[in-house]
Amino acid sequence: MASVEIKNVRKSYGSVDTIHGVSVGVSDGDFVVLVGPSGCGKSTLLRMIAGLEEITGGEILIGDRVINDVEPKHRDIAMVFQNYALYPHMTIAQNMGFSLRLARKSKDEIDQRVKDAARILGLTDYLERFPKQLSGGQRQRVAMGRAIVRNPQVFLFDEPLSNLDAKLRVQMRTELKDLHARLKTTTIYVTHDQIEAMTMADKIVVMRDGVVEQFGEPLELYDRPANRFVAGFIGSPSMNFLDGTVVVRDGKQMFESANHTVLPLPEGLDRAFEGKKLIMGFRPEHLQVSEAPEVFEVTVSVVEPTGAETYFVGNANGDTITGVLRDRIAIASGQSLRLLPRLNAIHLFDAETEQRVN
């Protein structure tokens, strides 16, 4: 096990820059998830750590060794690919033992370690089969087994669950987390599924267009997103955003949206923001029914009861509002609700820089 230190790493393909100076410190034993929309450079970053892509600028350290110019096989890492990349002409046992065979381990040791990994992953009965004789979930497990047997310093995963169906994905998510709890190997895991990120990670790196937007613990990202992008990316359904300005009514700071809905603001906002354009964000699950004078008058258009919660989409003064209500309120399309976001769950972002201001 080892820490991974990514220092101001850049990547260009020819004249096209795809990663613009990323710095992330992964502590020994952490499970760090890289998330971000498609094309933001998650795979590229992971592949640079693996040694499959050259590092254009900056440094990557595994432990205290700079590995920029170290060959993949000497980096002591294992990688699991999205499409598993199992060797089709080798049995499961041979697939899992391949790296040990290359490392010239004795046959007994290979057998033993393959058997151990197979037992952990529930693959014992499949060792003599070929990859094409296994289901998707089993193949995924073999791919993990191939990584486990080597007992590497770092595990790298590139969207390992995205080829599985929804149910299996949830199951494998739990298994992977469990595995990490047992092995405690430093893990860097790429996904574009923010729920996967939230549920599995010790820390999350949110990337966009080749830069890190925020690096922190899952709940930190949820509670205090550093900017509008992270706020919108983390959480499902996504956060509501309203453009507007800070106004002062009766000596109190209020938020007036572009469509002239006036809402209360948490106290203690810097007076410098008065009169400035801001973006207000609040999560659907933080909306509450309220009798206060200043509220959203939401005319509900779509209602989706899930049993535990009720999702709805409505319109307030021309702004589309998504909401989730825990209580089973009987609401119907066309009905109007008086709603307010919880004051301590209001996020304010600068309209220009989109950075958090409160």
Ligand X SMILES: Nc1ncnc2c1ncn2[C@@H]1O[C@H](COP(=O)(O)OP(=O)(O)OP(=O)(O)O)[C@@H](O)[C@H]1O
Residues near Mg ion, by CB under 5 A: 43
Question: CB of residue 223 vs ligand X: minimum separation in angstroms?
Answer: 25
Question: CB of residue 222 vs ligand X: minimum separation in angstroms?
Answer: 21
Phi, psi of 283 (to 5 degrees): -85, 150
- Residue in this structure with the two tokens 């049993």, named with its chain if needed: 307
Q: Which of 148, 155, 154, 156 is nearest to 43 (CA)?
A: 156
| Cβ distance to another protein smaller for residue 160 or 323 | 160
Q: Record the tokens describing residue 131, joined without a space.
A: 């990859």
| Cβ distance to ligand X smaller for residue 229 or 255 | 229
SS3 state at 156: strand
Phi, psi of 269 (to 5 degrees): -80, 135
Question: CB of residue 154 vs ligand X: minimum separation in angstroms?
Answer: 18
- Whole-number CA gyration radius for the chain: 25
Q: Does position 78 bind another protein by CB under 8 A?
A: yes
Distance CA 263, CA 340 (A): 8
Q: Rounded to 5 degrees, what angle do the CA atoms 45, 220, 38 make?
A: 35
- Residue in this structure with the two tokens 């820089």, named with its chain if needed: 353
Which stretch of DSSP H or E encloses residue 297? Answer: strand 296-305
Question: CB of residue 234 vs ligand X: minimum separation in angstroms?
Answer: 16
Question: CB of residue 67 vs another protein: minimum separation in angstroms?
Answer: 13
Question: CB of residue 15 vs another protein: minimum separation in angstroms?
Answer: 15
The listed partner (another protein, Mg ion, ligand X, none) that binds 18, CB under 5 to 8 Å by sort, is ligand X
Q: Choose the stretch contacting another protein; rule: CB under 8 A; options: 56-64, 70-78, 197-205, 305-313.
A: 70-78
Question: CB of residue 53 vs another protein: minimum separation in angstroms?
Answer: 10
Distance of CA 50 to the CA centre of its chain: 20
The listed partner (ligand X, Mg ion, another protein, none) that binds 81, CB under 5 to 8 Å by sort, is another protein
Which stretch of DSSP H or E encloses residue 147? Answer: helix 136-148
Total residues belonging to the chain: 358
Question: CB of residue 10 vs ligand X: minimum separation in angstroms?
Answer: 12
| Cβ distance to ligand X smaller for residue 158 or 319 | 158
State the binding string over 31-50 for another protein (x if CB under 8 A, else -).
Answer: -------------------x
Q: Give the interface with ligand X as residue ranges (CB under 6 A).
A: 13, 16, 18, 36, 38-44, 192
The listed partner (another protein, ligand X, Mg ion, none) that binds 13, CB under 5 to 8 Å by sort, is ligand X
User: Contact 44/19 with Cβ under 8 angstroms?
Assistant: yes
SS3 state at 258: coil
Beta-strand ranges (E) seen in the chain are: 4-13, 16-26, 31-35, 57-62, 65-66, 77-80, 154-158, 186-190, 203-208, 211-216, 240-249, 252-257, 262-264, 277-282, 287-289, 296-305, 310-316, 319-325, 336-341, 347-350
- Residue in this structure with the two tokens 């040694």, named with its chain if needed: 51
The listed partner (Mg ion, another protein, ligand X, none) that binds 51, CB under 5 to 8 Å by sort, is another protein
| Cβ distance to ligand X smaller for residue 143 or 348 | 143
Q: Does position 181 bind another protein by CB under 8 A?
A: no
| Cβ distance to Mg ion smaller for residue 43 or 194 | 43
DSSP state of 228: H
Q: Does position 81 bind another protein by CB under 8 A?
A: yes
The listed partner (Mg ion, ligand X, another protein, none) that binds 41, CB under 5 to 8 Å by sort, is ligand X
Binding residues for another protein, per CB under 8 A? 50-52, 71-73, 77-79, 81-83, 85, 87-89, 98-99, 102-103, 131-132, 146, 150
